[in-house]
Amino acid sequence: MMIVAPRRLALSAPGFLFAVLGLGALLVPFMTIAANRIVAGNGIMVWDLAAPAAMWPGLAAVVAGLLLGLSDKMTWARFAGAGLGLAGVVVLLMLGAPALLEGAGANARVSPSVGFWCLLGVFLLLAADALAGMAPGPLMRAGLLAMALGALAAVLWSGALDDLSILLEYASRRDAFVAATWQHLGLAFGSLAAAAAIGFPLGIVCHHQARLRSAILPVLSFLQTIPSLAMFGLMIPVLAWVGATVPGAQALGIAGIGFAPAFLALVLYALLPVVGNTVAGLAAAPEAAREAARGMGMTPRQRLWRVELPLGLPIILTGLRIVLVQNIGLAVIAGLIGGGGFGTFVFQGLNQTATDLILLGALPTVAFALTAAIFMDILVDLTRTMPEPADD
């Protein structure tokens, strides 16, 4: 006789946690409304944003998204749930902002509040958890990343969120924002390029010379331990001195404050990951393969290009990934010493206690860092020609 086990409804433990957190987030203020951009606002619950009839589709999407996330097996459904929930959250925001502003005065500002941010976080975590279960290949991930960025751009472009305080801050300094974006990317990518140009050759030399390696890596580690504010501060007198004494330096824009000291600080921070991972990457080729390459008569240069670099590329790129994400974040501090970038808004906002101006600097930074991280991960995966060891 056959005994049939009763079928249990399979629940995903993180999905359950997300559902509890998400439902809880509906019980705290979803948005705030303030009399102007400086004063603290009043929290508004999600069902008080507008007429209930207008809000229920968004709410339903949020709840449905959380419920889909509960499933244990259907990772695709969970991922779709995350998408549905995110759409719901954005719709609530889109409908809530104009409704709240109606008759609230010319200077009134509405912003997303705790409830919104929590739901956003919950659905992003749900998406990440579902994705981990689907284990998509690099191309699939690139497609999903492009879709997410496209959706974000569409929402911002459509103007549906233009009533939000942060976008009002943006509207009033559009040119400054565009300039800051270029400066920020210039700082992050420029310092990455400079660090790579210095770090790769240095790493290759260190790979061949153990003595040099043991001298240089500790120095770079030490640089890494200097707190970022102190590092940026230290660059001021150093570059002021260079600008004042080295002929022609000033013409190049080198001075105590501005782009140059920020750039230099970022390059110094970037050197350890670049050099360290280059050394580790070049040493990653199996000893027997390197000896075989030597034994068949490859010159050191041929061994580097044909064996050591290709096998070490994923590790070397991982170093670049660390640098890029780290520098996108650190470049914010450049705002403090006149280096430009999104930090400008953050520190202006801190001075004026204008939270939404701070966010105007912080949110793009986070978005860029996340995008860079995902993009570099995809690149690392694509270069991993060496099959992963089966037993790890």
- Footprint on this chain of other proteins (rule: CB under 8 A): 286, 288-289, 291-299, 302, 306-307, 310-311, 385-387, 390
Instruction: Report the DSSP pairing between strands 42-44 and 109-112.
Output: unpaired
For residues 33 and 96, what is the distance between their CA atoms, to the nearest angstrom? 11
Shortest separation between residue 296's beta carbon and other proteins, angstroms: 5
Shortest separation between residue 384's beta carbon and other proteins, angstroms: 9
Q: In terms of CB distance, is 1 or 288 closer to other proteins? A: 288
Q: In terms of CB distance, is 187 or 293 closer to other proteins? A: 293
157 CB neighbour count, 10 Å cutoff: 8
- Quote the distance between the C-alpha of residue 225 and its chain's center: 22
Give which of 166, 179, 192 is closest to 363, Cα–Cα: 166
Shortest separation between residue 7's beta carbon and other proteins, angstroms: 39
Q: In terms of CB distance, is 80 or 386 closer to other proteins? A: 386
For residues 69 and 329, what is the distance between their CA atoms, to the nearest angstrom? 31
Shortest separation between residue 16's beta carbon and other proteins, angstroms: 39
Q: In terms of CB distance, is 175 or 392 closer to other proteins? A: 392
Give the list of residues 6+ apart from residue 387 with CB closer than 8 angstroms, or none: none
Give the list of residues 6+ apart from residue 285 with CB closer than 8 angstroms, or none: 307, 308, 311, 312
For residues 32 and 159, what is the distance between their CA atoms, to the nearest angstrom? 20
Shortest separation between residue 333's beta carbon and other proteins, angstroms: 40
Write down the residue that tokens 């490859």 correspond to.
298
The residue type at 9:
L
Q: In terms of CB distance, is 173 or 290 closer to other proteins? A: 290
Q: In terms of CB distance, is 83 or 314 closer to other proteins? A: 314
Shortest separation between residue 316's beta carbon and other proteins, angstroms: 14
- For 246, phi and psi rounded to 5 degrees? -80, 125
Could you give the angle at which helices 210-225 and 259-282 cross, rounded to 10 degrees?
Answer: 140
Shortest separation between residue 290's beta carbon and other proteins, angstroms: 8
Q: In terms of CB distance, is 208 or 306 closer to other proteins? A: 306
Write down the residue that tokens 């499933």 correspond to.
71
